[in-house]
Amino acid sequence: MSGAINVLGLESSCDDTAAAVLRAENGKSGILSSVVHSQTDLHARFGGIVPEIAARAHAEKLDVVTREALGQASMDLSSIDLIAVTAGPGLIGGGLAGVSFAKGRAAALDLPMVGVNHLAGHALTPGLSNGLAAPYLMLLVSGGHCQFLIVHAADRFTRLGGTIDDAPGEAYDKVARLLGLPQPGGPSVEEAAKSGESARFALPRPLLDRPGCDMSFSGLKTALLRLRDRLIADQGGLFVQDRSDLCQGFQAAVVDVMAEKTRRALLLAGERLGTAPPLAVAGGVAANAEIRAALNQVAEDCGVRFVAPPLSLCTDNAAMIAHAGALLFGSGHKDGMDLVARPRWPLARVSPALLGGGRKGAKA
Ligand code: KG4
Ligand code: ZN
């Protein structure tokens, strides 16, 4: 197939059911529509994502978001030339729902289909949002992911490091829970930190004493828990200012660690590529203003461009899946009816760090 194609993207690997329609040509994509149906309300009272509820909701909503996305793009399925669907990594029930839905539509309309790695969708987003060409260094930071990747091409990534335990968004969410702040924790901790003093509580800077760019966030949460319990024991409770100071102390540690590890990852990427590449960030945690500012500063210090896609494309969405699918299809990838959903699907074969389980299910 040559020339422009219309791509339907589908995403259901975690707690968002999403569909998007893109017009893609020569590696460039224009978003015609992007619909995201969040399951946050369904899981709220359980304090985390319940896989069975997520899978059922995806199965119910995939059709709805697809119709909405097609409607907003003023199209019906007969105008679609390619279906791109997230085939992992993530919760298996959601992956199965998405892949089965895509197979049904592809078979009925005799359309080609491409299974997309969710992490590749995130990692390739700067090309969709900002026209950033590979190679570049991607810091992917969300509630379920945390890794440094060199993006060489749509199907070629080098993983330089990542978390050895919790993802940073997961740590923000846990801290919010410890302090009685609302979920998702990232925005509420960031907001509380604004009126906090970072000097009051010195939290550790995990793994800064170790070479490389692996990170660790679970110890930070434990350190904060101890500080909280000591305050409660001493004072009989927490004042609003205590909460803000704890949030600020936590965030200052996250920002310091992320900035330093990003500096190291840029150096490592520069060694591998011959010159330091642009730096890009994606994932829900990229919404954090302090983190964005720190990464921007690192890029400036290293003399490289910094790209942070708009938030709607940083968090889970189907436009990134359609874009990745279009790039893969353009370079000859295509899947058949034997496409399977995979709970684990590392982007890069060589993985120097071990990854833990995590709140949102298996990580790559
Ligand atoms: O990418 P995303 O929407 O979903 C996945 O995890 O895949 O990211 C959600 C995560 C949550 O853990 C949330 O607390 C975190 O991103 N987050 C933030 C902020 N906004 C969202 N973390 C820190 N600061 C923020 N402003
Ligand atoms: Zn994601």
190 lines ligand 1 (CB under 6 A): yes
* DSSP state letter for 284: G
Judge whether residue 350 has pLDDT over 90: no
**What is the signed CA dihedral for 353, 356, 357, 361, rounded to 10 degrees?**
-40
173 lines ligand 1 (CB under 6 A): yes
Residue 214 sits in the same domain as residue 95: no
- 136 phi, psi to nearest 5 deg: -150, 165
43-52, 248-257, 289-298, 325-334 — which is least confidently predicted? 43-52
Residue 193 sits in the same domain as residue 259: yes
Most confident of 13-17, 31-35, 93-97, 180-184: 31-35
82-88 sheet: strands from edge to edge: 28-38, 16-25, 5-11, 82-88, 113-117
- Asked if the bond preceding 89 is cis, omega within 30° of 0, the reply is yes
32-46, 61-75, 184-198, 218-232 — which is least confidently predicted? 32-46
**Residue tagged 């978390």 (tokens):** 163
For residue 358, the model assigns a pLDDT of 39
User: Which ligand 1 atom is the nearest neighbour of the CA of 170?
Assistant: 12
Residue 185 sits in the same domain as residue 294: yes
Q: Residues 62, 9: contact at Cβ < 8 Å?
A: no
How far away, in angstroms, is 44 Cα from ligand 2 center? 19
Residue 283 sits in the same domain as residue 188: yes
6 lines ligand 1 (CB under 6 A): no
Is residue 139 in a domain? yes
* DSSP line for 14-83: SSEEEEEEEEEETTEEEEEEEEEEE-HHHHHTTTS--HHHHHHHHHHHHHHHHHHHHHHTT--GGG--EE
Residue 168 sits in the same domain as residue 220: yes
How far away, in angstroms, is 90 Cα from ligand 2 center? 9
State the residue range of the domain holding 280: 134-304
Report pTM: 0.91
How far away, in angstroms, is 147 Cα from ligand 2 center? 12
Residue 33 sits in the same domain as residue 71: yes
Residue 139 sits in the same domain as residue 218: yes
Task: Quote the longest CA-to-CA distance of the chain.
Answer: 70
184 lines ligand 1 (CB under 6 A): yes
For residue 118, the model assigns a pLDDT of 94
Residue 100 sits in the same domain as residue 141: no
pLDDT digit string (tens) for 325-337? Answer: 999 999 999 999 9
- 26 phi, psi to nearest 5 deg: 50, 45
Residue 181 sits in the same domain as residue 279: yes
Compare 188 and 363 and report the one with higher pLDDT.
188
Instruction: Kindly identify the ligand whose nearest atom is closest to the C-alpha of 190.
Output: 1
Compare 243 and 39 and report the one with higher pLDDT.
243
**Residue tagged 């210090």 (tokens):** 301
Total domains in the fold of the chain: 2
Q: Residues 9, 33: contact at Cβ < 8 Å?
A: no
User: What is the rounded distance in angstroms from the CA atom of residue 345 to the CA atom of residue 349?
Assistant: 10
Where among 304, 339, 354 does a domain terminate? 304
Beta bridge partners of 83: 8, 113
Residue 285 sits in the same domain as residue 141: yes
CATH value at residue 114: 3.30.420.40
Judge whether residue 349 has pLDDT over 70: no
Say which residues have a Cβ less than 8 Å from residue 353's Cβ, sequence separation at least 6.
147, 159, 161, 162, 163, 164, 214
Residue 173 sits in the same domain as residue 294: yes
Residue 255 sits in the same domain as residue 323: no
For residue 2, the model assigns a pLDDT of 57
User: What is the rounded distance in angstroms from the CA atom of residue 10 to the CA atom of residue 21?
Assistant: 9
For residue 53, the model assigns a pLDDT of 86
